[in-house]
Amino acid sequence: MQVEVSRRKFLQGSISLSIVGASAISATNLFANNDEDSGGGNSSIPKTITTKTGTGKADEVPILCGMCVNKCAAFARVEDGIITKLNPNPYFPKSRNMLCPRGNAGIQTTYDPDRLKYPMIRIGKRGDGKYKRVSWEEAYDAIVNGTDKFKGLKQILDEEKDNRATIGYCNGEGLSKEGFEVLVGQKIGTPNYVDEVSICLETAGGGFFSTIGTYPEIDFEHADYLVIAGANRAEAIITPDTLDMFKYTKGRGLKTICIDPRFTNTAAKSDKWLPINPGTDLAFVLALTWVVFNENLQNEEFMKKHGVGYEEYKQHILSHKYTPEWAEPICGIKAKDIYTIAREFMNAENPIYYPGRRSVLSPNDYQLRRAMAIFQALSGNMDKKGGYIFGNRGLLPAEYVKQPIYENTKERFDTEGIAFPTLKSGSWIVFRNMILEGKNPYPVRAMLMRKHNPMMSVPNTAKTRAFLEKMDLNVVIDILPTDTAMLADVILPEASYLERMSPVKSYGFLEPAVVMRKAAIKPLYETKTPEVIFKELGEKLSKPLFEVSKKHDKALQELIKEKGEKVAFEEGGYNLAEPFEKPIEEKNEEIITEVFGKKAWEIIDEKGVYYPHIEEYHKQLSPNDFQYYPKSKRKYTSRGDSLKVICKNDSLASGGIDVMPTWHDEWKFSVPKGEFRLITGRHAQFTQSGTQNNMMLRDLIPTNFVWINQRVADKMGIKFADRVEIKSEVGAIRLKAYPTEKIAPNQIFLLHGFGSESKGMEFAYGNGGNDATIIKDDIEPMYGAAVMHSTNCKIRKV
Amino acid sequence: MARYGMALDYKNCINCKACEVACKEENGVELGAEKHRIWVGGNNPEGQWPFLDIASAAFMPSQCQHCEDAPCQEVCPTNATYYDENHVVRVDSDKCILCSYCMNACPYDARYVDDRTMTVDKCTFCSDTRLARGETTTACQNTCPTKVRTFGDLDDPNSEISELLRTREHFSLKSHLGTNPKLFYLT
Amino acid sequence: MKVGPLNIPIKEDFSLKSILDFEKTPLNIFLAVSVLTMLAMFAIGVITYLIHGHHAYGVTREHPWGLLIAVYIFFVVSSTGFCIVGSLGDVFGFKRFEMISKRAIFGSIVTIMAGFAVIAFEIGHPVRMMIYNVLTPGLTSAIWWMGTLYGLYLTFMIVEFYFLLNDDMKRAKIFGLTGLLVGLAAHSNLGGVFGFLNARTISNGVYYPTYFILTAFITGIYLSFIVMGFRYKLNFDDKVKDLLEGLAKIQGLLIAILFFFMTWKLLTDMYGGMPNRADVAHHMLHTAPFWAEVIFAMLIPFLVILKDFGKSPKLMFFASLIGMVGIFFMRYNLVHDTQVKPLQMMKLTEYQLPPEWVEYFPSATEIMISLGGLGLCILLYYVGTKAFNLDATH
Ligand code: SF4
Ligand code: SF4
Ligand code: SF4
């Protein structure tokens, strides 16, 4: 009995129930899997969910994984136009011939039956999910001219007298991110841009950068002591760190101290796990620093040479008496352990205080990163083998874009409560909240959103919804009907990462390389690659928006008078499609050939990876190990004498920021009785909301559970998988409980990225709880980045 | 003609389950948590917060042991389970009658029912996919971020796995049952 | 007596009408309706299974054998039991038991047929089984031996029954003896199916192969009481009373031996220090089906026998009905307890409880097919009583 479980059949179980009284045109029948009209390209859609790889002819197309930020290199095995398998690519030094579970499950993202398949425009009320399938022409036209339901960009800009800043836009991480920034930021010309940076690791980057000049890489191969605090490399996989680190843990050369409120898989791989009170890492690092200075354990020579304000910092630490005994009640870590770790660290040959790539968890995060960087420097294990690596810069030159100047465009305003606002990507929370509170000096009336799901990623979903509802026009470019897409007026379906070639990208550090993603298959349905969308949208917008400028922009009027309209249009950079005119395939070839020569193009075209001498350097050492660069060719030291460790940064004073890392008691951890501190984090089988509809990953993590201490749960009568409600001051969610001893009695944890409210995603809809709904929209003072671990919640069984 | 085995540097394992997904995608294994050829086990750490026992929280990647003396093979009434020419324990789905005896006999819970063919399925060491194409690694080995697995010919003294087993201490699971597994856990 | 094809003596009045012609007492009507209901359930169950496959069953990766295996065992043990009882008279020549031989041998045929009917829907591919059992026999497999021998056994039983009908006692004896031996071999192989499982320490070893023969005999005697009870509507004449008293006495002895077996099995399980065996034994002791087995299959009938050494056949009839309920639990427990300890004790995903005991509860489909098997068995037996003279004729 050969029963094929087809995608369609597989879905029927869950889908058939949800189509209730579908009106002529509703989300359910538009978003549902109409695979009979898969239309579009020549590609076919596999009948079964997993497809056994064959032994016959197959193409091996080099791709770069798009399931998370790492961009691991892989080969897509394509048989009969169907991607049957993704295999790791052994040429890319960063991803070291591996693919994580999400990478492997990428096929399911491309063949997700719920994908956005054709352009759609809203015909009902916002949020009720009523859309009409339209052609790309009609969709573009709706963006420019609007419909009877919403206004178009032309009218909005005209009403705003060509103040381009009335358009806001946001963008998710990825290889086509820059293109969208070029189109909307540089060409259309609005400064009002927000992205994942201000809801992710802005202070980590900023803190390290402003202290030692870079966010470093780690040479785990030669390190022998590791403090990994607030980072969970076993579950939040970062390449190459995850791949390197765990080959040496567990008594195999890298003594590992894990500092984390939660017992993570990283803790399970460590020699010691110290649960710390959330948000108190800074006190911990300051106490470590105090021990070092007090016992004179530091590499004085190194600090004398590279430190800036070093002596003052030493005095600062000693005079503040940041002793382990002081830190013990704050951090919940025994003074004895702090002494031991400080001494062991400084006595180790190559100790590492892991920089800890992760989102901003506490308001003091910027200072924490500074203190960490300085503490690492005290060991002198920096810019050398076994330490923090600064390495090479990228291998590719920057690109030049002809950017029009719009005289009437205002500056961005989202600076309230921020010491040093970032001009480029701003602060999501401050931008949103100021508009909601009417503090914006001019109206922001449209949001162009690509590959970004603020409804689930920006803390306080209620506010994000109100913000999006305020807009006259919301445009979403994405691959799935996300919660954000459900508030869009125009939806443009993008090709998934396996269906498109992306701009080449270069990675620096120890073993630099250039990588390229090719398209494994043609775009399915009527989807288009981002660069084609940028080009077409640019083409459609150029003339109408130029007309608006002509009407309102004095400088442009002058220019036209001087040079004539045609020249002004061309030279002024008003042809918005111009950066995208050349197809990405040609562009990539041109860049690579220009920088490295023709042979390099051939190599990267076949292998997806190129770096100088790859043919000579790259070797397979064993079934599992590859050499990318011989050790002698790796640049362990690159800064040399120019390396500066800024212990005291006087320029911070102007923004009211401490010039040296200083503890303030308002950061002490406390939770009112009967409440819990909410902490969030990652599992290895899940990347934020982007993977929530992936059928393969759902087998591994079916939903998000809320971790609650076992004994507390027992007392509250909460058992495994009981449904509970978690309520904070900004919202409430319901999900299943997971009583465990891996978390402290006064904390709860839940995985980010679940709890979608979009009916368009059959698997994700209503599954679990969305943490953004309950996380308060607190910001840290340096850049206005979102603070994730400051919310207290109540929990009850429902 | 080889005698394939697999060595697992199991202390590298971070329980990411890339191997599980790679196996499903490579071999077209049915979706569903119960339908797996390969798995990674973990335990809740013993003790109470904050005194948790790290050693009790180890991860154990596993799959069919390709026993030299396979109980599943012994009990199969139609010889649907057989040793192939490379000593890989395989199931011939044309002969499998789904009496499920092997599922009960396998001491490792390595077998499950493929609902599409209504026969028993299990790890094949990728024999009919990757090995059949002449590749030398299994999907689970190849994808692993921390490179837990080394697959190879135990009869070839020059193979990487032979070298590993000669030079590193190792153990097998439930070896007291006399199944002679060909999965070796390196300590 | 008319003679059917192949010289099979068939009752004179046997016809569809005779089948429908039974005394319309409330009990009989109730029985008839029950049997029809069970047959309808069988049909529904089988259709559900054909549509949904094993999804329709409660079986899982960890508990691949479910109710249908238990019911199959229940029926084949019954068959072997009937065969043993039947053999007492016509094979071993115990005159006292001859009068039940024909009926018992017929019973052994209908019960094993019911067993086959049930197992056909548990095995994924019964037809394929018949082909490859022959083409590529798995000689190390207890299931192969069990299946093959039961196939032979059924043949021998039918042939024996044929000779019994024709009063050819000599040939009946030859086939009866061969059939009995093959049946016992088949049956102990069924025990071996469990005994060979060295991963399942609770079942591993020689216990089940021997225990199966013992419990088959016990089952056979319970069933004899039941069929004789129905045959004589509980009005036993002296000859029958004598027969039943004899059987009851044997039963007393057998149950006593079974008590002895079980006690030692449990004691060695619990205190033998074998990993994974003691905890399963302790677990068993805390489940209701275990006590149902002990009380219904052993204790109650044993007390009834002890009361006056088997001299109350009427009471024994009812005790036997209870006994058969216990025997059902005996089979169910055997199957379930074998699998109750997970082979994989680690958590395979984060969000699950650590494996403790494997849970299983039969699905509606499994229950319907099982009851259907019972219905089929009763129907076949009833038709047999209408068609053949199952009483002793000499
Ligand atoms: S892929 Fe490797 S590290 Fe990940 S779970 Fe499997 S064996 Fe462990
Ligand atoms: S592990 Fe199980 S399935 Fe694999 S060979 Fe051994 S007994 Fe058979
Ligand atoms: S060897 Fe192949 S079939 Fe076996 S578990 Fe690994 S990937 Fe799956």
What pLDDT is stored for residue A20 in this prediction?
Answer: 29
Can you tell me the distance from the alpha carbon of A289 to that of A322, in angstroms, rounded to the nearest whole number? 8
Q: Are C96 and C243 in contact (CB under 8 A)?
A: yes
**Residues of chain C with C-beta less than 8 angstroms from the C-beta of A705:** 351
Among A487, A403, A493, A404, smallest CA distance to A447 is for: A487
Nearest to B74 among C125, C140, C345 (CB): C140
Domains of chain B, by residue range, sit at 4-186
Phi, psi of B151, rounded to the nearest 5 degrees: -105, 145
| Residue B23, token pair as written in the block | 């196996």
Does B136 contact A at CB distance below 8 Å?
Answer: yes
C-alpha of residue A95 to centroid of ligand 1, in Å: 15
Ligand positioned closest to the Cα atom of B132: 3
- Cα(B144) to ligand 1 centroid in Å equals 5
- What is the distance in A from the centroid of ligand 3 to the CA of A43? 29
Q: Whose CA is nearest to atom 6 of ligand 3?
A: B140
Beta strands per DSSP E along A581-661 = 609-610, 619-620, 626-627, 645-646
From residue C303, alpha-carbon distances to A497, C297, C306, C315, C329 in Å are 76, 11, 5, 11, 19
Please state, for a pLDDT cut of 70, what percent of chain A lies above it. Answer: 95
Tell me the pLDDT tens digit for each residue of A213-224. Answer: 999 999 999 999
Q: Whose CA is closest to A114, among A43, A42, A192, A28? A: A28
The finding on whether B38 has its CB within 6 A of some atom of ligand 3 is yes
CA distance A327 to A341: 14
Which two three-digit tokens encode residue A379?
């060991």
User: Which residue among B76, B106, B114, B172 is best mutated to probe the pocket of ligand 2, counting the most ligand atoms within 8 A of its Cβ?
Assistant: B106
Among protein residues, the one whose CA lies closest to atom 7 of ligand 2 = B106
Q: Which residues of B touch A84 (CB under 8 A)?
A: 25
* Ligand 1, pocket residues at CB < 6 Å: B 13-19, 40, 61, 144-146, 148
Contact, C76 vs C190, CB < 8 A? yes
d(CA A88, CA A63) in angstroms, rounded, equals 10
Residue A10 has pLDDT above 60, yes or no: no
Name the residue among A1, A3, A738 with its Cβ closest to that of C351.
A738
- Which pLDDT does position C274 carry in this prediction? 82
Mean pLDDT along residues A212-240: 94
**Partners of residue C55 in chain A, C-beta under 8 Å:** none
User: Which residue's alpha carbon is nearest to atom 3 within ligand 1?
Assistant: B13
For chain C, the straight-line distance linking the first and the last C-alpha, in angstroms and rounded, comes to: 15
Pinpoint the alpha helices (H) of A160-280.
177-180, 202-212, 241-245, 265-268
What's the whole-number average pLDDT of chain C?
91
The domain total for chain C is 1
Instruction: Please check whether residue C288 touches A, CB under 8 A.
Output: no
Instruction: Provide the strand spans (E) within A570-675.
Output: 609-610, 619-620, 626-627, 645-646
Domain boundaries, position C50: 2-387
Residues 101 to 160 of B: which have CB under 8 A from any C CB? 101, 103-109, 111-113, 115, 118-119
Phi, psi (deg, nearest 5) at residue A475: -120, 135
Contact A701 C53 (CB under 8 A): no
**E-strand stretches of C170-260:** none
Does residue A29 carry a pLDDT above 70?
no
Determine, for residues B21 and A101 on separate chains, whether the beta-carbon distance falls below 8 Å: yes
The distance of A333 to chain B (nearest Cα, Å) reads 10
Quick check: C298 and C259 in contact, CB under 8 A? yes
Confidence of residue C2 (pLDDT cuts 50, 70, 90): low
Report the residue from C133, C199, C342 with minimal CB separation from B106. C199
Predicted pLDDT at C94: 86
pLDDT average, residue stretch A706-722:
97
pLDDT at C394: 55
- Please report the pLDDT score of residue C238 as a whole number: 87
Displacement of CA A478 from its chain's centroid (Å): 15
pLDDT of residue A358: 83
Residue A763's identity, in one-letter code, is: F
pLDDT score of C242 more than 60? yes
Residue C166 confidence (pLDDT) above 90:
no
State the nearest Cα–Cα gap between C349 and chain A, in angstroms: 6
Q: Which ligand is located closest to the Cα atom of residue B42?
A: 1
Alpha-carbon gap, residue A389 to A14, rounded angstroms: 50
- Whether residue C392 lies inside any domain: the answer is no
Q: Both tokens of residue A126?
A: 């916002």
Distance CA A739, CA C60 (A): 26
- Under the banding of pLDDT at 50, 70 and 90, the label for residue C393 is low
Average pLDDT, whole number, for chain A? 91
Helix axes A461-470 and A428-436, enclosed angle (nearest 10): 60
CATH number of domain containing C56? 1.20.1630.10
Pairing of strands B47-48, B51-52: antiparallel
The conformation of residue A689, written as its DSSP 8-state character, comes to G
What confidence score (pLDDT) does residue A24 get?
32
Q: Which two tokens stand for residue A156?
A: 């909005």
C-alpha C60 to ligand 3 mean position (Å):
21
Q: Within 10 A of A539 (CB to CB), how many other CB atoms are there?
A: 16
Intra-chain end-to-end CA distance of chain B, in Å: 29
Task: Write down the residue that tokens 């959330």 correspond to.
Answer: A278
- Which H helix or E strand runs over A695? helix A695-700
Whole-number Å distance between alpha carbons of A219 and A241: 9
| Segment C302-322 mean pLDDT | 90
Chain CA centroid to CA A260, Å: 21
Name the band, by pLDDT with cuts 50, 70 and 90, for residue B108.
very high
Measure CA C101 to chain center.
Answer: 18
Question: Is residue A12's pLDDT more than 50?
Answer: no
For A548-583, how does the pLDDT look when each residue is reduced to its tens digit (9 = 90+)? 999 999 999 999 999 999 999 998 999 999 999 999
Rg of chain B over Cα atoms, rounded to whole angstroms, equals 17
Residue A547 identity (one-letter amino acid): E
Quote the pLDDT of residue C5: 67
Q: Is the pLDDT of residue B40 over 70?
A: yes
Q: Are A181 and A159 in contact (CB under 8 A)?
A: no
Report CA Rg, chain C: 21
Tokens standing for residue A726: 């978690």
Cross-chain residue pair A97–B22, CB shorter than 8 Å: no
CA distance A367 to A663: 9
H-helix or E-strand containing A73? strand A73-79
> What does chain B look like in DSSP terms, one character per residue?
---EEEEE-GGG-----HHHHHHHHHHTPPSSTT--SEEEEB-PPSEETTEE-GGGG--EEEE----TT-HHHHT-TTS-EEE-TTS-EEE-TTT-----HHHHH-TT---EEETTTTEEE---TTTTTTGGGT-SS-HHHHH-TT--EEEEETT-TTSHHHHHHHHS-EE-TTGGGS---SEEEE-
Least confident of A746-750, B182-186, C379-383: C379-383
Dist. CA C310–CA C238, nearest whole Å? 14
Region A506-523 average pLDDT: 94
Ligand 2 site residues (CB inside 6 A) read B 64-67, 70-72, 89, 106, 108, 110-111, 122, 179
Predicted pLDDT at C98: 86
Residue A718: C-alpha distances to residues A38, A713, A734, A798, C371 (Å): 46, 5, 14, 10, 40
Closest CA to A796 of A674, A671, A672, A673: A674
Place of tokens 């607030």: A230
As a whole number of angstroms, the distance between CA A423 and CA A44 comes to: 44
pLDDT (mean) for B160-165: 96
Quote the DSSP letter at residue A523. P
The pLDDT of A231-244, averaged and rounded, is: 94
Task: Give the one of A272, A274, A623 whose C-beta lies nearest to B150's C-beta.
Answer: A623
Residue among A586, A587, A492 nearest A540 (CA) = A492
Q: In chain B, which residues have their Cβ closer than 8 Å to the Cβ of C54?
A: 98, 113, 115, 118
Pairing between β-strand B60-63 and β-strand B112-114 as defined by DSSP bridges: unpaired
Classify B4-186 by CATH class: alpha beta
Q: What tens digit of pLDDT does each residue of A388-423 get?
A: 999 888 788 888 888 999 999 999 999 999 999 988
Query: B40 C-alpha vs ligand 3 centroid, how far in Å?
Result: 13
Count of all residues that appear for chain A in the document: 798
What pLDDT, on the 0 to 100 scale, is given for residue C285? Answer: 92
B10 lines ligand 3 (CB under 6 A): no
Question: What distance in angstroms lies between residue B36's CA and the mean position of ligand 3's atoms?
Answer: 10
Mean pLDDT of C40-62: 91
Does B179 reach chain A within 8 Å, measured CB to CB? no
Chain B residues inside the 8 Å CB shell of C147: 77
Contact B64, B123 (CB under 8 A): yes
- Judge whether A1 is closer than 8 Å to chain C, CB to CB: yes
Q: How far is the CA of B148 from the centre of ligand 3 (A)?
A: 13
Cα A668 to the center of its chain, rounded Å: 29
The verdict on a CB contact (< 8 Å) between B26 and A86 is: no
Question: Which pLDDT does position A7 carry in this prediction?
Answer: 54
How confident is the model over C71-128, as pLDDT tens digits?
A: 999 999 999 999 999 999 888 888 888 888 889 999 999 999 999 999 999 998 988 9
CA distances from C34 to A790, C21, C322 (A): 67, 17, 18
Radius of gyration of chain A (CA): 27
C-alpha separations of C135 from A333, A465, A705, C130, C139 in Å: 70, 68, 52, 9, 12
Residue pairs spanning A and B at CB distance below 8 A: 185
| C-chain residue closest to B103, CA distance | C64
> Which of B8, B39, B66, B113 to probe ligand 2 with, by most ligand atoms within 8 A of CB?
B66
Cβ neighbours of residue A195 under 8 Å, at least 6 residues apart?
A: A170, A171, A172, A173, A177, A425, A428, A452
Give the 3-state secondary structure of residue A475.
strand
Closest atom of ligand 3 relative to the B122 alpha carbon: 3
Query: Over the stretch A474-501, which tens digit does the pLDDT of each residue have?
Result: 999 999 999 999 999 999 999 999 999 9
| For residue A639, pLDDT beyond 80 | yes
For B24, which residue in chain A has the nearest alpha carbon? A50
User: CB neighbours of B9 closer than 8 A, spacing ≥ 6?
Assistant: B147, B148, B149, B150, B186
Beta bridge partners of A122: A131
pLDDT class for C280, splitting at 50, 70, 90? Answer: very high
**Domains of chain A with CATH codes:** 7-110 (2.20.25.90), 120-196+437-580 (3.40.50.740), 202-390+640-655 (3.40.228.10), 671-797 (2.40.40.20)
Q: A47, A4 in Cβ contact below 8 A?
A: yes
Q: How many angstroms separate the CA of residue C67 from the nearest CA in chain B?
A: 14
Question: Could you tell me what percent of chain C has a pLDDT over 70?
Answer: 98
Min distance A359 CA to chain C CA atoms (Å): 23
Q: Which of residues 139-158 of C touch B (CB under 8 A)?
A: 140-144, 147
Q: DSSP 3-state assignment of A81?
A: coil
Q: Is the pLDDT of residue A33 over 50?
A: no
CB–CB of C198 and B71 under 8 A?
yes
Tokens of C84: 């043993």
Rounded to the nearest angstrom, the minimum Cα separation between B157 and chain C is: 32
- Ligand 3 pocket, B186 CB below 6 A? no
SS3 of A655, please? helix
Closest ligand to Cα B6: 3
